[in-house]
Amino acid sequence: MDNKAKISRIVKSFAAEPVDPAPGESLFESGLLDSFSLADLVTELEKEFAIKVPDSDLVPRKFDSIDRIEAYVASKS
Amino acid sequence: MAFLRGFGCYLPARVVDNAELAPMVGADPAWLLHATGIDQRRFAADGETVSSLGTEAARDCLERCRATAGEVGLVIAASGSGEYRFPGPATAIARGLGIQGVPAIDLPMASAGSLFGLSLAGGLAHQYGNVLVVGSEIMSRVVRLEPPSRDTAILFGDGAGACLVSAADGFAEIRDSLLASDGEFAEALRLCLDAPLYMDGRTIILHASRKLPRAILQLLERNRLQPYDVGAYILHQANLNLITRVAHAVGAPESRFFRNLARYGNTSSASMLIAAAEWRAGSQEKLAQPVVFAAFGAGLNWGAVLAVPPGAMP
């Protein structure tokens, strides 16, 4: 499973609805993620990809779409 | 060494329930409760001020501690909603108590202000004797009830809390505190001079969800305590969901996290001390287990304070 597929699976596990978001779709504007599920999502990304998200990177727009999350994970790997 | 002698609080008489607030913000009362977990909040009367609320809370605190205003050697007042750019409410609170000549310091920090005040009081008590810490807010005057500020406005209420810290004695010893600040996200929660309160909720929740549990766990670890050893967690009452998540992240029973948010909403710097006053009023005279205070707010500022039964720890 590639990173995009892993990220999609994680996003769906925290999403408010059982849908497949498009890679560039805003997870916040679409209502799939709220403030609290975002915090859970970041924690799960750290576990799945064995990365550490520093406080300085706790910026919601970095995690606003599957594409952005993928780019962020790639930058940390 | 410093001790907690007691707490006090003051809530304005006017109760604003969701049925009254809903038409003001164009929402349904049931939605308000579902979205915020808040049943009602208090709004200050026209003649009340941040300092008058703070003075009433301080009086209540002194009365509960069986202390007099003349015993107070230092006043620390936290508020983010004071009426003036300066002076802050500290000197007016001291004046309201009839205290003259003792230093009165303002902490214009909003939500984490009382926690920082508590920690500072613990460090300064040996020099000033009894330190009175007050958190007082009239948030209803700094929010706007119409869009786009509505979703922030519905979270807040007015009130004041107070704590007396003593160098001599008390029901708990302030054992340790951990304070932290990060100015990188200062714009995420702010009250400008000519605009209503602004909060980027996503950023604030994201940071609070991670920083608060981390601070609490670091504080416990360096004092060789486990989360389960703590009898009560008294947090800034910002959000029910946040408190629940902090409890899970810390690994302590949720029931040990005191909550009164449903009755007062988020009263910013006042909330932790109002919660402490209610917790203390409902607990046994002699403290049996350690207690942790914690808060997170604008700045960003956050941290935790550990208090233990006197003589309980080496």
Q: Report the C-alpha gap between B53 and B42 in whole angstroms.
A: 12
Q: Say if residue A52's pLDDT is above 90.
A: yes
For A33-47, what is each residue's pLDDT tens digit?
888 888 889 999 999
For B3-62, what is each residue's pLDDT tens digit?
999 999 999 999 999 999 988 888 889 988 988 889 999 999 999 999 999 999 999 999
- Tell me phi and psi for residue B176, to 5 degrees: -165, 155
Residue B225: the pLDDT is 97
Residue B283: the pLDDT is 84
Q: Which residue has the higher pLDDT, B240 or B94?
A: B94
In single-letter form, the type of residue at position B153 comes to A
Give the angle subtended at the CA of B131 by the CAs of B76 and B89, to the nearest 5°: 25
- In A, minimum Cα distance to B241 occurs at A36
Q: Which residue has the higher pLDDT, B195 or B115?
A: B115
Query: Residue B24's closest CA among B198, B150, B142, B139?
Result: B150
Q: With contacts defined as CB-CB under 8 Å, which chain B residues touch A38?
A: 202, 205-206
| Domain of residue A23, residue span | 3-76
How many structural domains are present in chain A? 1
Residue B14: the pLDDT is 96
- Mean pLDDT along residues B131-160: 89
* Angstroms from B201 CA to nearest CA on chain A: 7
Strand partners, B72: B130
Cβ contacts of A53-62, under 8 Å, gap ≥ 24: A55/B182, A55/B184, A55/B207, A55/B210, A55/B211, A56/B184, A58/B185, A58/B203, A58/B206, A58/B207, A58/B210, A59/B203, A60/A28, A60/B200, A60/B202, A60/B203, A60/B206
- Mean pLDDT along residues B179-197: 92
* Angstroms from A36 CA to nearest CA on chain B: 7
Q: Which pLDDT band holds residue B217 (cuts at 50, 70, 90)?
A: very high
The SS3 of residue A25 is: coil
**Which of the following CATH numbers is that of domain B172-308: 3.40.47.10, 3.90.550.10, 3.20.20.30, 1.10.3720.10?**
3.40.47.10
Query: Cβ neighbours of residue B271 under 8 Å, at least 6 residues apart?
Result: B111, B114, B135, B159, B161, B236, B237, B238, B261, B264
Q: With contacts defined as CB-CB under 8 Å, which chain B residues touch A29?
A: none
Query: Cβ neighbours of residue B44 under 8 Å, at least 6 residues apart?
Result: B12, B14, B53, B138, B140, B141, B158
Those of residues 220-279 in B touching chain A at CB distance below 8 A are 241-242, 245
Q: Report the residue from A39, A55, A60 with minimal CB separation from B182.
A: A55
- CATH number for the domain spanning A44: value is 1.10.1200.10
Residue A36: the pLDDT is 86
| Domain coordinates in residue numbering, chain B | 3-166, 172-308
Residue B314: the pLDDT is 60
Residue A27: the pLDDT is 86
Q: By percentage, how much of chain B surpasses pLDDT 90?
A: 82
Q: Which pLDDT band holds residue B313 (cuts at 50, 70, 90)?
A: low
* Angstroms from B200 CA to nearest CA on chain A: 10
What is the pTM assigned to this prediction? 0.94
Q: With contacts defined as CB-CB under 8 Å, which chain A residues touch B202?
A: 28, 35, 38, 60
CATH of domain B3-166: 3.40.47.10
Within an 8 Å CB–CB cutoff, is residue B202 touching chain A? yes
B3-166 and B172-308: identical CATH topology = yes
Q: By percentage, how much of chain A surpasses pLDDT 70?
A: 100
| Axis-axis angle for helices A3-14, A66-76 (nearest 10) | 120
Q: Report the C-alpha gap between B157 and B267 in whole angstroms.
A: 5
